[in-house]
Amino acid sequence: MKDVQFIPKPYINYVESGSFRWSSPSNIALVKYWGKKEHQIPENPSVSFTLDNCKTTTTLHFSKKENNEKLSFDVFLDGEKKDDFKPKIETFFKRIEIYLPFLRDYHFKIETSNTFPHSSGIASSASGMSALAMCLMSIEKLLIESDITLSEVERSLNNDFFIQKASFLARLGSGSACRSLEGDLVVWGKHDEIDGSSDLFGVKYPFEVHNNFKNYQDTILLVDKGEKQVSSTVGHNLMHGHPFAQERFKQAHKNLSSLITVFKEGDLDAFIEIVESEALTLHAMMMTSMPYFILMKPNTLEIINKIWAFRQTTNSKVCFTLDAGANVHVLYPECECEKVCEFIKNELVAFCQKGEYIDDKIGFGAKQL
């Protein structure tokens, strides 16, 4: 499958070498992406809060090489060479080279670091792939930019295309990565009520968002810091032929429709209901697939029960969501910061591995450094 809109015209500039540096955050899905078709096309639309503190910074050095037969690159994490990262990046490069024909012309040195510990159980694929996609787009920009002075409108159109293509490329690295480039809410996947939404890239959520959701907080409780028990590729594949898959995909469309009103009206009770149900449905799909998995740990359940009890006794609007693992994202409005942080320290930290957690909040996407 070729998406011709992202295949560039022949490059006009010669560039010998250089480097670019971008940071890009992780994101937390409210309506989950779980299940994909060929070419990283999602089975259903999803929406996420872009995060702020959990991010990857990547410097991409590039230098022209003698011939363009092979892809050539090295990867470093925190200054240490990481050959075990290469296969994933090689697959990514092969998927995107038709859209970035310069890839075989250069040798790349990819230097990357995360603000969160590598073994925290937090997936770095969304932040990592989106940061790398932005660096690659910066190189392409050098190769196509002409001397002609552009008008304000043309510049902004170019900028929109830059982000859109970066999101398109990031998606081919890791689906959820296409939701990390902008903030504060990003939709990925075609949805009838959201104009401009696409299966190919993430778009900024285009409608009104009530102040209740501004600067929303996300404290990530590290319940299990080990390697993922089920890789996302295996996990998404479990949806093929899953007996409940079609209903689940319909439900995601419906939940995203409901969120449009929730965001507009600032209805925190309805928000909690949708977000927690999405998290539990994701896990229910894994429990009911073949083979089946339970990715929660006993402490995940302890935390969920504590959150429910706290909500009942205090009227707080705190809620939880989960990714495909045991860690818990505790979501709450900014005005409840003090009260919820106290609750987390007093009642939830005991369930975290080594008492570790990460304070995060809504952020605004990738930045060039």
**Binding-site ranges for ligand DP6 (CB under 6 A):** 29, 32-34, 40, 46, 123, 125, 174-176, 232-233, 236, 282, 323-324
Burial code (b: 16+ CB inside 10 Å, e: under 16) for 271-294 equals bbebbbebbbbbbebbeebeeebe
Q: How far is the CB of 2 from ligand DP6 (least distance, A)?
A: 20
By beta-carbon proximity to ligand DP6, the closer residue of 102 and 197 is: 197
By beta-carbon proximity to ligand DP6, the closer residue of 166 and 324 is: 324
By beta-carbon proximity to ligand DP6, the closer residue of 325 and 333 is: 325
Residue nearest to ligand DP6 (CB): 175
Q: How far is the CB of 177 from ligand DP6 (least distance, A)?
A: 6
Q: How far is the CB of 233 from ligand DP6 (least distance, A)?
A: 5
Helix axis angle for 268-287 and 245-265, nearest 10°, is 160
Q: How far is the CB of 108 from ligand DP6 (least distance, A)?
A: 21
By beta-carbon proximity to ligand DP6, the closer residue of 32 and 361 is: 32
By beta-carbon proximity to ligand DP6, the closer residue of 235 and 333 is: 235
Q: Give the 3-state secondary structure of the chain.
A: CCCHHHCCCCCCCCCCEEEEEEEEEEEEEEECCCCEEHHHEECCCEEEEEEEEEEEEEEEEEEECCCCCCCEEEEEECCEECHHHHHHHHHHHHHHCCCCCCHHHEEEEEEEEECCCHHHCCCCHHHHHHHHHHHHHHHHHHHHCCCCCCCHHHHHHHHHHHHHHHHHHHHHHCHHHHHCCECCEEEECCCCCCCCCCCCCEEECCCCCCHHHCCCEEEEECCCCCCCCCCHHHHHHCCCCCCCHHHHHHHHHHHHHHHHHHHHHCCHHHHHHHHHHHHHHHHHHHHCCCCCCCCCCHHHHHHHHHHHHHHHHHCCCCEEEECCCCCEEEEECHHHHHHHHHHHHHHHHHHCHHHCEEEEEECCECEEC
Q: How far is the CB of 150 from ligand DP6 (least distance, A)?
A: 34
By beta-carbon proximity to ligand DP6, the closer residue of 57 and 130 is: 130
Q: How far is the CB of 318 from ligand DP6 (least distance, A)?
A: 21
By beta-carbon proximity to ligand DP6, the closer residue of 42 and 333 is: 42
Q: How far is the CB of 175 from ligand DP6 (least distance, A)?
A: 3
Q: How far is the CB of 332 from ligand DP6 (least distance, A)?
A: 20
By beta-carbon proximity to ligand DP6, the closer residue of 310 and 328 is: 328
